[in-house]
Structure 1
Amino acid sequence: MERFISTETLVIELLLVASLVAIMVRRLRIPYTVALVIVGLILTSQQPLELSMTPELILALLVPPLVFEAAFHINLAELRRNLPGILLMAVVGVLLSTLIVGGALSLVTPLALPVALVFGALISATDPVAVVALFRALGAPRRLALLVEGESLFNDGTAIVVFNLVLATALTGRFDLVQGVADFVRVSAGGAVVGLALGWITAQLIARVDDYLIETTLTTVLAFGSYLVAERLHFSGVLAVVVAGLVNGNIGPQGMSPTTRIVLFNFWEYVAFLANSFVFLLIGLQVNVPTLLSNWQPIAWAIAAVLAARSVVTYSLGWIVNRISDPVPIRWLHVLNWGGLRGAIALALALSLPASLGEQRELVRIMAFGVVLFTLLGQSTTMRPLLRGLGIVTRNPAQTEYEMRHARLMSFRAAADHLDTLYRDGFISERAWETLRPELLAQAETIAHAVRILQQSHPELTVEELESARREFLRAQRSALMRLRRDGITSEEVFETLVAEVDASLMNNESPTSALPPVDDGVETSMADQEADSL
């Protein structure tokens, strides 16, 4: 019981830290995940925590929700158009990266070639969480974000399969190319089939249920269950989760009500936030800085090998992609190259290394932590200036001017409101109020006229503002309905009907008045007749 209480206390403390960090990074220009790692480093340097980050904790508990949430939101039609390039990077790219990193490190570090290939396989899986979050914040092209996220989803499973095959070779000293290829195909295809079957079955169940609690529970069972079933059958659990998420995310919502879709999307966004918070905070807590510093040379070689392999893979395979699929601009290839961050999968595989690997196991783990830390603290934090420098994310001058004029208008109106408050509370005289107020209102009207002119010449400026305002008053309507139900003013049946209308408007980005049902004239007539009879 005492052990359970201490574990629960630690989890609550980590959640509190993650929440405080999330609040803090809103004012800082650093990715949330990077901030978590830094905080973890600070905490463990002040007071080392007895915290064991096992591979089972990462692979079975934290990775499935992350992978499922990302796959669930990917548009299958867009993925299909870019699938040749994504699979080329995720399969051929992982194999090339494993060979390049392993071969290079066997020459410049104490690692034997089989062990160096094991390191090359475990470090090949990319984790672009921080990069994709930055893409969304800056408004990077959707296709670029899809390429980065799609590669990561599929190369996670590929890297795990390759890692297990290479590790078996390193432990037994025997390698059969034909058997290795057969095992790779069997494990990968088996995982995809498991995910496809379970995802389709779950989507059919969701189509026959109209209860957001049950439907959310079914997707939770799918995310973790597809991983467990595939692993029990000795297939790729991660690939099973990827395919299950893709199938369920593109078929399942068709049978969902608007309310269920909103609840489901919010739920998985929250679960992914929790999983990411734990993963990156645990990374910071697990890093032993003195040990990394004492092994700086092999870590430096590992970083150089990983960066070189990533460059070779990105630009060589990018050249091929441009000839078999929609071309990828060279500027995007620069981003794909530098955006190859490493994270949870690499650390989970490093921690899963068996003791039978020998003395070199600890060096592999140290190098893995070093590479992950470098990619998070170095590459992730420099992605913003890289995007701006390449001109991928640029500020529209009209948008900047609109924001400045709008901000000035808001400031003058706020000043006029504050002046009214001062006059009403007796802090200034009526003469001062009558003198200053017209001046403020005249300036506000001048700026308002300038804003209207800019909106007329650039109509697209108001589109996002209108959508945001529409979402806000729809959410306000939803909150009012929830208060009415809580206070017993509205019945559950009426509440569900009205909330479904508001949620449908939210999903379709339309005004709530457009979603209102037509007024039943018969009802109005009947009520009017009753009133007349009563008179």
Structure 2
Amino acid sequence: MHAASLAIPVLILSGLLLIATSSAILLKRLRFPYTIGLVVIGMVLGIAAQYADQLELALKVDLSHDLIMYVLLPILIFDAAINIKPPSLFREMGVILNLAVIGVVLSMLVVGALLNWLTPLSLASAMLFGALISATDPVAVIALFKEVGAPERLSMLMDSESLFNDASAIVIFGIVLAVVQSGSGVSAGVLLEGIGAFIKVFFGGILVGSAMGVAMRWLMKLSKGVPFAQIAFTTILAYGSFIIADHVLGVSGVMSTIAAGIITRSSSSTVLSEEVRGFLRPYWELLSFIVNSLIFLLLGLKENLLFRNFDYLLTNYHFFLVAIFAVLAGRLAAVYLLLPASNRLAFCRSVDGKSMAVMFWGGLRGVVPVALMLLIPDTLPDKELIIDLTLVVILFSLLIQGTTVNWLMKKLNVCQQYHIRRAAMKKLGA
């Protein structure tokens, strides 16, 4: 009985990975972004499964909050963190925190105000939607910018912002949800409480991840002659730093894993053998590929929920258009109000207008909003509409913004100028 119950999930997982790997070959030949192509394939698979009994098993796997947060996300966050160059990160920290903290709050307010005005959502529900949808998603952004070959600094800004504002959005969503559930309303006391909670959760996560990173560094140093033990320790650190911070201590799992990953990268030259350093990147790239494949296929299956009632879609299409407009307006405000302001500060490196345009349009939404929307209690009257609005915005973000951001970079000559500069630098170096 136990063997049979375990065999089916493993078979489904193997089938999904087979579809994803085969799709990767086809999508590469078509020159279509792999992750976005998987969303489309997932949607087609979901539609086909309704009419073919053989595919019905695919619908048994669902993107739950715990699956996203505790199984899939730690791998992607840690992989991104160990690929961040700490000196570059600290140089850009002013710009990143400006967008990742103030930008998320500003976007939430813009989105919430517009949806409260133009849709049936109450102010509390509109702000809740604004909180969960305002952060650019690291899973979607990092995967896409790798595929399109974005310039190094632009990739660094987008990758780091998406990681940090992911943590911000999760914390802010939790605060807004607590206010909504308490029914206490917004007051000066509530705002101060919220700021205190944000500082505790955000920076508490950094402390937890740093402590675990230092402890794991000691273990990796002890196991220097055992390569596979060192690789295993990095995997344990990725999951341990996230779950202990988020689930056990109630602080930011994302910030904890980012801190642990950065410490691992910083100490890799002293505690990891040359053999392990050579194997570490391919190992994490493989894990990242597997997790990305599952996330975007399952996201496509989740998006299929939108198309099960066409009458409902036709009746409410104007609310969906408002949500897309509001989210774009929120991102526009965050990029074009905050970046010009940070450009005036001495400790912030300037961001040019072309990069701003790419950062605005390349701010994709992905799997993290799905995890957050699944936390909304059934007692909230607007839950169904919030879920539908979230799925519509994600779909627009991936299928429209995701497929045109490469065109935009080419139109602005962003990549071309980057490659010219690199070629010139290499020539001077020679």
The two structures have a TM-score, normalised by structure 1, of 0.72
Partner-residue secondary structure (3-state), 2:29 = coil
Structure 2 counterpart of 1:249, one-letter code = R
* Structure-1 separation of matches of 2:164 and 2:293: 22
Partner-residue secondary structure (3-state), 2:196 = helix
* Structure-1 separation of matches of 2:197 and 2:419: 55
Structure 2 counterpart of 1:151, one-letter code = E
Identify the match of residue 282 of structure 1 among 287, 298, 322.
298
Structure 1 counterpart of 2:129, one-letter code = F
Which residue number in structure 2 is paired with residue 95 of structure 1? 105
* Cα RMSD (Å): 2.2
Structure 2 counterpart of 1:267, one-letter code = Y
**Residue 212 of structure 2 contacts residue 237 of structure 2 at CA under 8 Å; is this kept in 1?**
yes
Structure 2 counterpart of 1:386, one-letter code = L
The two structures have a TM-score, normalised by structure 2, of 0.89
Structure 2 counterpart of 1:257, one-letter code = S
* Larger relative contact order (CA 8 Å, sep ≥ 6): 2
Structure 2 counterpart of 1:238, one-letter code = V
Identify the match of residue 91 of structure 2 among 81, 85, 105.
81
Which residue number in structure 1 is paired with residue 351 of structure 2? 328
Change (3 A) 1:165 1:85: same
Q: Which moved more, 1:330-339 or 1:44-53?
A: 44-53
* Structure-1 separation of matches of 2:384 and 2:26: 35
Instruction: Compute the displacement of 1:121 (Å).
Output: 0.5
Instruction: Compute the displacement of 1:30 (Å).
Output: 1.5
Identify the match of residue 319 of structure 1 among 300, 316, 340.
340
* Structure-2 separation of matches of 1:396 and 1:143: 9
* Structure-2 separation of matches of 1:397 and 1:286: 38
Q: Deviations over 1:424-474 (max 9, x none)?
A: xxxxxxxxxxxxxxxxxxxxxxxxxxxxxxxxx99959x9xxxxxxxxxxx
**Residue 40 of structure 1 contacts residue 283 of structure 1 at CA under 8 Å; is this kept in 2?**
yes
Change (3 A) 1:368 1:375: same
* Structure-1 separation of matches of 2:274 and 2:244: 31
Partner-residue secondary structure (3-state), 1:39 = helix
Q: Deviations over 1:394-422 (max 9, x none)?
A: 28999xxxxxxxxxxxxxxxxxxxxxxxx
Which residue number in structure 1 is paired with residue 212 of structure 2? 198
Instruction: Compute the displacement of 1:130 (Å).
Output: 4.8
* Structure-1 separation of matches of 2:419 and 2:231: 43
**Residue 98 of structure 1 contacts residue 124 of structure 1 at CA under 8 Å; is this kept in 2?**
yes
Residue 144 (structure 1) aligned with residue 154 (structure 2)? yes
Instruction: Compute the displacement of 1:216 (Å).
Output: 0.9
* Structure-2 separation of matches of 1:8 and 1:315: 47
Instruction: Compute the displacement of 1:337 (Å).
Output: 0.4
**Residue 138 of structure 2 contacts residue 166 of structure 2 at CA under 8 Å; is this kept in 1?**
no
Instruction: Compute the displacement of 1:10 (Å).
Output: 0.5
Which residue number in structure 1 is paired with residue 182 of structure 2? 172
Which residue number in structure 1 is paired with residue 53 of structure 2? none
Partner-residue secondary structure (3-state), 2:171 = helix
Residue 209 (structure 1) aligned with residue 223 (structure 2)? yes
Which residue number in structure 1 is paired with residue 361 of structure 2? 338
Structure 2 gaps of 5+ residues are 51-58
* Structure-2 separation of matches of 1:178 and 1:459: 52
Which residue number in structure 2 is paired with residue 308 of structure 1? 329
* Structure-1 separation of matches of 2:146 and 2:239: 27
* Structure-1 separation of matches of 2:419 and 2:245: 52
Change (3 A) 1:384 1:128: farther
Instruction: Compute the displacement of 1:238 (Å).
Output: 1.4
Which residue number in structure 2 is paired with residue 410 of structure 1? none
Which residue number in structure 2 is paired with residue 32 of structure 1? 34
Change (3 A) 1:395 1:173: closer
**Residue 206 of structure 1 contacts residue 252 of structure 1 at CA under 8 Å; is this kept in 2?**
no
Q: Deviations over 1:280-337 (max 9, x none)?
A: 1001011222447344222211110000010011011111221121111110000000
Partner-residue secondary structure (3-state), 1:21 = helix
**Residue 227 of structure 1 contacts residue 237 of structure 1 at CA under 8 Å; is this kept in 2?**
yes
Structure 1 gaps of 5+ residues are 399-456, 464-535
Which residue number in structure 1 is paired with residue 389 of structure 2? 367
* Structure-1 separation of matches of 2:349 and 2:419: 30
* Structure-1 separation of matches of 2:99 and 2:137: 14
Identify the match of residue 351 of structure 1 among 364, 367, 374.
374
Which residue number in structure 1 is paired with residue 116 of structure 2? 106
Which residue number in structure 1 is paired with residue 55 of structure 2? none
Residue 266 (structure 1) aligned with residue 282 (structure 2)? yes
Q: Which moved more, 1:18-27 or 1:199-208?
A: 199-208
**Residue 134 of structure 2 contacts residue 330 of structure 2 at CA under 8 Å; is this kept in 1?**
no
Partner-residue secondary structure (3-state), 1:349 = helix
* Structure-1 separation of matches of 2:292 and 2:146: 16
**Residue 171 of structure 1 contacts residue 356 of structure 1 at CA under 8 Å; is this kept in 2?**
no
Residue 225 (structure 1) aligned with residue 230 (structure 2)? no
Query: How many equivalent pairs are there?
Result: 404
Which residue number in structure 2 is paired with residue 44 of structure 1? 46
Identify the match of residue 387 of structure 1 among 398, 404, 409.
409
Identify the match of residue 70 of structure 1 among 60, 80, 84.
80
* Structure-2 separation of matches of 1:396 and 1:162: 36
Change (3 A) 1:460 1:128: farther
* Structure-1 separation of matches of 2:419 and 2:9: 52
Partner-residue secondary structure (3-state), 1:393 = helix
Instruction: Compute the displacement of 1:181 (Å).
Output: 1.1
Structure 2 counterpart of 1:250, one-letter code = S
Q: Deviations over 1:19-57 (max 9, x none)?
A: 011111111122110010000011111114233321000
Which residue number in structure 1 is paired with residue 12 of structure 2? 10
* Structure-1 separation of matches of 2:425 and 2:333: 43
Identify the match of residue 119 of structure 1 among 102, 126, 129.
129
* Structure-1 separation of matches of 2:30 and 2:121: 40
* Structure-1 separation of matches of 2:244 and 2:366: 25
Change (3 A) 1:284 1:460: same
Change (3 A) 1:134 1:285: closer
Change (3 A) 1:68 1:297: same
Partner-residue secondary structure (3-state), 2:205 = helix
* Structure-2 separation of matches of 1:264 and 1:133: 19
Which residue number in structure 2 is paired with residue 22 of structure 1? 24
Change (3 A) 1:396 1:161: closer
* Structure-2 separation of matches of 1:58 and 1:131: 16
* Structure-2 separation of matches of 1:397 and 1:134: 18
**Residue 134 of structure 1 contacts residue 384 of structure 1 at CA under 8 Å; is this kept in 2?**
no
